[in-house]
Amino acid sequence: MEKLKQLWGVIVIGFVLSIWGVKGHEFDEFFSNKSKVTFLESIYGASAASVPPNALMVGLTLVQGAAAKGAVCLDGTLPGYHLHPGSGEGANSWLIELEGGGWCNNMKTCVYRKGTHRGSSTLFEKEIPFTGILSNKAEENPDFFNWNRVKIRYCDGASFAGDSEDKVYNATGLQFRGQRIWLAGIQELMSKGMHNADQALLSGCSAGGLASILHCDEFQSFFPESTKVKCLSDAGLFIDAVDVSGGHTLRDFFGGVVSLHGVKKNLPSTCTDHLDPTSCFFPQNLIANIETPMFILNAAYDSWQIHESLASPAADPQGTWHDCKSNHERCSTSQIQFLQDFRNDMLNAVKGFATSRQNGLFLNSCFAHCQSERQDTWFADDSPVIDNKAIAIAVGDWYFDRSNIKAIDCPYPCDKTCHNLVFK
């Protein structure tokens, strides 16, 4: 069975790369002890290898009229979304998933990005699989399977938060309109029935998880008080951490994103009143002041943050961390201790947040990133658990007020249920 899983992973990896129009050697690959997935897909959404063969495929809809509102992708094309309508008891319930996919922090990276499906809707997949929290099957998604489920595509490069009027960028054809894309998408969905919602959940993975934090209270404001509104951030708890060189790789990177995209004016004033804009792009400085109930789902040893924040090539030019980043089992004692210190930073970041009963928490001690969209990590026979409770059950218990969820795993290596990602 394990060999069949790996063979299926190899087949779907080739399929995904062919869709992207890229050569296999251009991307590193992740391997899981449970499945085999590409690096980018494991980070930015449902991995190809975690997509069941009978997964629901949902078509793309472009937001017509968005251009008149200035709500356009980096290259000026229309934004889009994928919607699968609810049914039965879920007909008036809505789950909005904000797609992730990193950021661009300078002209070079944004010009590159606008020529990809992260910056142009002309390169969006025409249909995508709905798995994990987006699945339409009760056995895969017990609490949200019959809701109206939407994925809003990500094509601005600043977590749906930028809005720059700077004319300097006109020569490049770049448009920094994430905030307008967010608003145009929500307005479109309101016109399609979301204004009648009895229940709503705003979710997102990675950069989309950060976006769900940034927009949570705003999302709640679109509904009457009678609507039950909550938010979920998956792999969006990016920490302002010290990297292996003693620097602040992610802070420097986020500083470029905030400045280039004109994010400052769309950040919560509860933060910008006393902190600089870059600090207010970090969730640790935002989550305690969010009024809407929020659930934070994160791996304590977040794979993206290890690779791109803690031990990025710039922070580790000699490659001392190469083997450890590739496979956590190859980490030295001192490297494991560094990662344990990072976990402690994450735990400290959620202390104030966790004191509120309305908030939920699931921090598992895994080397992973984005666990709600992947079927194998969201809800499956061998999906990750804390105290024998799977992620899907924990989120459902929290959303429907069945129990108070503050699940914090014991430190690595105690959790044997993880789907740890390992580089080849």
| Catalytic positions | 206, 302, 369
CB 160 within 8 A of CB 257: no
Q: Indicate if the alpha-carbon torsion angle 11, 17, 18, 20 is positive or negative.
A: positive
Nearest to 184 by CA among 220, 158, 152: 152
Max CA separation in the chain (angstroms): 58
Residue 412 contacts by C-beta under 8 Å, 6 or more apart in sequence?
Answer: 300, 301, 328, 336, 339, 340, 343, 365
Structure tokens at 8: 């299926």
Q: Please, which residues have CB within 8 angstroms of residue 190's CB and are 6 or more apart in sequence?
A: 222
CB within 8 A of 191, min separation 6: which ones?
Answer: none
Sign of the dihedral through C-alpha 246, 270, 207, 121:
negative
Cβ burial, residue 48 (10 Å; 0-12/13-18/19+): buried
Question: Quick one: how far is CA 257 from the chain centroid?
Answer: 17
Residue 219 identity: F
Tokens of 211: 């976006």
Numbers of helices and strands, H then E, in the chain? 13, 15
Q: Minimal CA–CA distance to 398: which of 287, 286, 296, 288? A: 296
The CB density around residue 218, as the number of other CB atoms within 10 Å, is 16
DSSP class of residue 308? I
| Helix 178-191 × helix 207-221 angle, to 10° | 50
Contact between 280 and 286 under an 8 Å Cβ cutoff? The reply is: yes
Tracing tokens 């129009």 back to the chain, one arrives at: 21
The total of other beta-carbon atoms located within 10 Å of residue 340's CB is 15
